[in-house]
A = this chain, B = another copy of it.
């Protein structure tokens, strides 16, 4: 069973804390809007504008830093996921 997000929405599986530390990115606790790291699980077809879909920049498998604000939490087969808009994703993490 899977989720197919609509428009410019993305399904993200949040990274567990250990993984975050290994990647070398430590997200400060004191930030007003706390960003998080996770993996992209599914992407929408893009927003429809002036007759065509605007392709998303992120793809399935990307590790991303995102702002939790605006996302909606759902549990898929017992695992917590987040459905958010691509604009809530700040950057792709590469190594």
Give chain A's interface residues, CB within 8 Å of chain B: 1-7, 9, 11, 23-28, 31, 33, 35, 42, 45, 48-52, 54-55, 57-58, 65, 67, 72-78, 80, 83, 86-87, 89-95
The smallest beta-carbon distance between A95 and chain B, in angstroms, is 5
Give the dominant DSSP class at A's interface: strand
Contact present for B87 and A7 (CB under 8 Å): yes
Contact partners of A74 in chain B: CB under 8 A = 25, 27-28, 35, 65, 90
CB contact between A91 and one of B11, B57, B92, B93 (< 8 Å): that residue: B11
Give A57 to B50 CA distance when docked, in angstroms: 16
Contact partners of A31 in chain B: CB under 8 A = 72-73
